[in-house]
Structure 1
Amino acid sequence: MSVNWNLTWTEALGFATGAACVWLVARQHIANWPVGIANNVFFIVLFVQAGLYADAGLQVVFIALAAYGWWTWARGGGPVTGGALPVRRTAGAEWAWLAAAGLLGTVALTLLLDRATDSTVPFWDALTTALSLTATYGQCRKLLESWWLWIAADLVYIPLYAAKGLYLTSLLYVGFLVLCVVGLLGWRRTLAAAAGPRPATAVAA
């Protein structure tokens, strides 16, 4: 069976800006936010054409989150402490409400897409939307575990986009997956360096 690589300019620009954005996030560079906003605009057009309506709407929310993330990273530690926003682990309470929001969002979007649109993949479209939103919020706050949410989303996005004929976008998400692993390891090193060396354990005489 032959594969039709129907490349459009929106898909090509989405590929370029998306890869640049994830690479910049992994390096904790604040320029990832404006590059990400450009990426969102290209993907709005692409996903509407492909009938992935939740993903298209997700890009609008991403633009709002990117503005929030840009402000948060620029503000750093806050008006009192200043400096760069530190990488940290996700607290238990944060995990609880992120999980609740993700579950409720997936259920609500699945029902909406199934009943109000001609989406052929309402559940998978809704699931990736919920995972992406929670992951983006986590990166706005520099939560280490946000990379795991992105990895989970990418593992669904890759076959989903391939099934929709968006082969370059599917390939892009393979690259995203690799960059997410790189970002996870990099943020882990940053967190470990900030914690400093562990104190030596005293040995009883």
Structure 2
Amino acid sequence: MNEQLSFLCNWVIAPRRVAAIAPSSRALAALITRGISAADAPVLELGAGTGVFTRRLVAVGVPQDQLVLVESGPGFARRLRHEFPSSRVLQMDAARLGGLDLFAGTGAGAVVSGLPLLSMSSLQVARILKGAFSQLRDGGAFYQFTYGPGCPVPRAVLERYGLRARLVGRTFANLPPAAVFRISRKAVATRLF
């Protein structure tokens, strides 16, 4: 089954989980991975879907065996295991990352998220961020795309966890047009996770 059809079928089955009618474009994949290189390995990807961002991460030099892909959809997870056999694919809810040690204490250099945060509650978003930042090493960043006009992480959540969001850029070569934000720890923040 081709990528477009696979994505559309998953959207029909679970529209709130998928939250888009088409997979992310190559332009969006290039934008969300713009600040990532092999030096950031290992990398954690949330909501890996059809692997558009994963392919781009491999193209910028992140070895497959240095990728942990989190995907809750069984069809997408199966597809990812087939296409990226050296990667670690976890079929799970990204809000349950807290307490796991995915990188044997070294921490990821980046988290790339394709999760539909705008369709989630503030509590879910907070759990996802807390779990993701518990997997990041110092200096690591969380990259999130959105179809909305601003950062999809509520300001209260950013403030609570001592985080800041910076717009990386926008692309109109995506259906719908999208923006990417880089979320990182504030330098003076007390580290909560």
Q: TM-score scaled to structure 2, two decimals?
A: 0.28
Could you say which structure has the higher helix fraction?
A: 1
Query: Relative CO higher for 1 or 2, CA cutoff 8 Å, sep ≥ 6?
Result: 1
Q: TM-score scaled to structure 1, two decimals?
A: 0.27
Could you say which structure has the higher strand fraction?
A: 2
